[in-house]
Structure 1
Amino acid sequence: MHPSFSAAGVQRLFLNIGTAMRPRLSFTPLGLTCAAGLAAVIAGGGALLAADRPAPQPNPAATMPAPMPPGSTIVARVDGTELHLSDVEAAQQSLPPQVQKMPLAQIYPMLLDRLVDGMLITEAGRKAHLDQDPEVQLRLRRYEDRLIQEAYLNRAIKAAETEDQLKARYQTFAKEKAGREEVHARHILVKTEAEAKAIIAELDKGADFAELAKKDSTDPGGKSGGDLGYFGHDDMVKEVADTAFALPAGQYTKAPVKTEFGWHVIKVEDHRVSTPPSFDEARQEVSQLVAHDVVDAKLKELRSAAKVETYGLDGKPLPTSAK
């Protein structure tokens, strides 16, 4: 089911469309990826690419227009430059998630207007020779570099992500997961030791831990009763993990636990020895591990084949890092 937005609500969302369409960088196990893409740099989606296309030239020999491939339907012409449906669809994918999920027909008129506006602004900028501005050129080169990085790594990952490779990586993954001790715990996070002690006093009187977490915890997870789910020792902040793994099931801490985040009161619900998920259940996680392995291996390969020199802020050479 698509989210329902009023016309006014859609208008408000589109007030920020310019910001939403700026390229966003995300740091993932795959390395740098450009979330919006070079085509969204100036006008969002495909407007920049559309502005680069020459105006169509008539073909005297043609008696009937050739059928256009899906997505190439012309939706606008600006001074002879065509804007295609595929440009609109690409622009939609650069919008905030709640807008991406909306039916295209619902946002099409406003999105089309924004793309036309973008084409007009782009052309005005070209006439002002801003495409030759050094700052614009520098930014375009940086975006181009990031797109090339993404394409290069994605190609390497796609080549390595075979069914056999995924299953082989799953075997290692399953061994790491099997037999691991895990604990199911809840916690209440507060700012001061005095607050934590007051909560422990309420627990001693029989108060419900989950209800206190909902009422008093400053952690967003307090809304779910402070539930941390099952976790391994290395998955959690050390002070919390040490305390939780030492507590029997059903018990809570009699003294507050201090971490960099504040003061915690912790209750353990259960201890278990984990069993690994099936290949199908773990497929997405294993795929991410394979991608991470590919990127690491590729970076080592590239570094070993290149002469890399790095310098500190003082201009002195930095020691070669082992990567």
Structure 2
Amino acid sequence: MHRLVGLMIVLLFALVACATAEPTPTPVALPTNSAGQELVATVNGQDITLSQFERELARFQQQVNAADPEAARATVLNLLVEQLLIAQDAARQQITVSDAEVDTEVASLQGLAGGDSSWQAWLDDNLYTEAEFRDTVRAGLLTAKMRDLVTADLNSDVLQVHARHILVDTEQEATALLDRLRNGEDFAVLAVSSKDLTTRDSGGDLGWFAQEELIDPALATVAFSLEPMQIAGPIRTTLGFHVIQTLERAMLPLSDDRRAQLAQKQFETWLASLTASARIERYI
């Protein structure tokens, strides 16, 4: 089942990174839709029913040994919300998964299971009906298509900068460093006193990086706003105050590992933006 698992892990990883909702106790009475189905959430006016949630929760609890039942409920609800958000955005962009694509994937997985009887046993063991599993496959394929679309720009060269920095504890220290640098003192010499132990012995060199690769967005924004050899600061981050110098800028390829890491971050950012702009009502 490794191909499908890979597709769904993409969404699960993104969910873990983006989920912020705290689990809440189930109210005495859940709202219902026009068909009389109890609801656990609505996403931009589309329903997530209690029956959907309970089936997904049962599968999740069977496959993941969740120590905290309430956290598991929150995770599953967020998963269903994000699956629906992805489907809605895919529909907006006219991205679809055909029945033939689902058939091909299911047939491949059925072959891996070892035949009809083994396949049915696997479905039963994992609490799937055939229709539910096809829906899961479709969601996984759609997620993969949207991920490819969102991260398509990473398949070519991307803008990267080569920069160096000095980290200090206070704004006053950073301002004093900036003055000394502008008066001609050597950056690498001053970087020896940096609080960043990983770069101070190399003159504060951060190497080449794409904007999404630098841990702090504020520092990355400044680095990418500078022309080669320009210096800026003080820049406040959770680590302290920085003085940064951009040395070079260029369109460069990414290694496979870096591309994969950036793709994950880009997908997580996209999911977070979908969530932030959506009208989401959670009832549990």
- TM-score between the two structures when normalised by the length of structure 2: 0.38
* Structure (1 or 2) with the greater helix fraction: 2
- TM-score between the two structures when normalised by the length of structure 1: 0.34
| Larger radius of gyration between Structure 1 and Structure 2 | 1
Task: Identify the structure with bigger relative contact order (alpha carbons < 8 Å, sequence gap 6+).
Answer: 2
